[in-house]
Structure 1
């Protein structure tokens, strides 16, 4: 009876068995199989972390540049403010030099003080402008008087009431002048 059962199993087995993939393989070989890139989770994480680091580095670099610029502006503003507060001293020394005096020692002391102040201005990058004979520039000069004169060219400074000062391209005080028409 064992032989009969094995024969029956052999007969039933091919009918009941599912089709094997070996028979289907020739059909799949005819179709090209698209290769899908396998997304590696570690690679994705690396790329996102790398991008985050690059953005953080760029943000830090921008922060560093911005703070350096702000520091330079703050220093420039402080320097301009200090020069502005010293301008009345300059004006008083200039007036003292223009006054006649018989005391030579006094005059020499005022000249030395003015020379020292101009030396300090030079070390701070202060430029003095507004001389007689210069062309009038409304961006630098404040015309407080006009003079109708044939001996001077038009828009030429004929008299300076107060000199102008610049610190690093920033005008600290406009020159007050008289201009020929």
Structure 2
């Protein structure tokens, strides 16, 4: 090859390299436009979106069902405990009554102990004791007394103990408060 032929070959190569210098940003735009016009691609995207939405909806339904089931169980447990509380109150009154029959008193104490174990096993917390601070979220003040020696907002007397399961109050404690 001579020099003239080499120059001619280089000139032919230069125009070929010029189209490669096209900015890369423009090329993907054209590809995206062609993707958007493809009806099969649009149908695929629509079906995929519908499937994703359905999966998300099912997941939300499953979470809501679990939450409702737990709430129903908690409400059922609280209702059952509320129906047992009069038995607890009667046993407590029986224990506070003086009696000469030791066997009778022992039987009532054993029954009260078993009932308390059952309530504790269900997660029931008993609250409301004289000397505790008054909390309107837990206590129902039915009486008050003015006595500076007792302090302010302190339970003086508990007429009926309160019960709660977790954060849910099953029965408010009926109390007398010192103001």
CA distance in structure 2 between the aligned counterparts of 1:102 and 1:82, rounded to whole angstroms: 34
Determine the structure 2 residue equivalent to 1:93: 91
Q: Does 1:165 align with 2:148?
A: no
Determine the structure 1 residue equivalent to 2:129: 131
Aligned to 1:135, what secondary structure does the other structure show? coil
Determine the structure 1 residue equivalent to 2:106: 108
Aligned to 2:72, what secondary structure does the other structure show? helix
Aligned to 1:78, what secondary structure does the other structure show? helix
Which structure has the greater CA radius of gyration?
1
- The count of aligned residue pairs is 151
| Aligned pair partner of 1:59 in 54, 57, 60 | 57
Alignment of 1:27-42 (within 5 A): 35=30, 37-38=33-34, 39-42=37-40
CA distance in structure 1 between the aligned counterparts of 2:116 and 2:144, rounded to whole angstroms: 30
1:129-170 Cα offsets, whole Å, 9 max, x none, are 111100011111111111121321111001000001111211
Aligned to 1:75, what secondary structure does the other structure show? helix
Determine the structure 2 residue equivalent to 1:20: none
CA distance in structure 2 between the aligned counterparts of 1:62 and 1:73, rounded to whole angstroms: 16
CA distance in structure 1 between the aligned counterparts of 2:68 and 2:133, rounded to whole angstroms: 35
Normalising by structure 2, we get a TM-score of 0.79
| Aligned pair partner of 1:76 in 74, 77, 82 | 74
Gaps of 5+ in 2: 1-21
Q: Does 1:147 align with 2:126?
A: no
Determine the structure 1 residue equivalent to 2:174: 176
CA distance in structure 1 between the aligned counterparts of 2:43 and 2:109, rounded to whole angstroms: 74
CA distance in structure 2 between the aligned counterparts of 1:122 and 1:42, rounded to whole angstroms: 63
CA distance in structure 2 between the aligned counterparts of 1:139 and 1:110, rounded to whole angstroms: 32
